[in-house]
Structure 1
Amino acid sequence: MQGMGGDDCPFAFNFDAATFKPGDTVSYRVTGDATFADMPFVGELLEVHDDHVIIAGDATDPTVRYRGTRDSRPEVSADQI
């Protein structure tokens, strides 16, 4: 991670919700469970809609998909995890 004395972050995130497109890498948050508070997660956008996005939740399992808000850092409800 940047600023931690090691290599730069290996991900190139898109934080501009207005330009989201399928294939973009995003940092998302999980809300509604203190266990996940402030933890960053990484996912790939599969679908982009006017009011939400669909995020691939597990690169090794294509059936794991989360619905997130269309924000610069999407929010995913903990009940989907």
Structure 2
Amino acid sequence: MLGMGEGGCPFEFNTDPATFKVGDAVSYRVTGSLAGMPFAGVLLEVHDDHVVLTSDEQDPVSRMRATRESRPLVREEDVC
């Protein structure tokens, strides 16, 4: 992934689920065939037990429910 070598990651992610807020950038994971690949998204909603995020802020349909943990987990079947 571009920018992931020397010099670190070009993104700053919130990895503290206790401080998640709408608009935070997060690194998330996906189950199934996409497991192990890193994804970046933005939080649209923050709830006590889950979050809703998007990988494309310009696409209003791109919404995925995920677990509320340091790297939220999205079920493969929920990927938009």
- TM-score, length-normalised on structure 1? 0.86
Query: What residue in structure 2 maps to residue 14 of structure 1?
Result: 14
CA distance in 2, matches of 1:24, 1:77: 20
Query: What residue in structure 2 maps to residue 29 of structure 1?
Result: 29
Q: Deviating runs (4+, > 6 A) in structure 1? A: none
CA distance in 2, matches of 1:12, 1:18: 17
CA distance in 1, matches of 2:14, 2:36: 19
CA RMSD of aligned residues (A): 1.3
Question: What is the identity, as a one-letter code, of the residue corresponding to 2:41?
Answer: G
Question: What is the identity, as a one-letter code, of the residue corresponding to 2:27?
Answer: S
Q: Give secondary structure in 2 for the equivalent of 1:18.
A: helix
Aligned-pair identity in percent equals: 56
Q: Which runs of 5+ in 2 are unaligned?
A: none
Question: What is the identity, as a one-letter code, of the residue corresponding to 2:9?
Answer: C
Query: What residue in structure 1 maps to residue 59 of structure 2?
Result: 61
Q: Which runs of 5+ in 1 are unaligned?
A: none
**How big is the shift at 1:61?**
1.0
Query: What residue in structure 2 maps to residue 78 of structure 1?
Result: 76
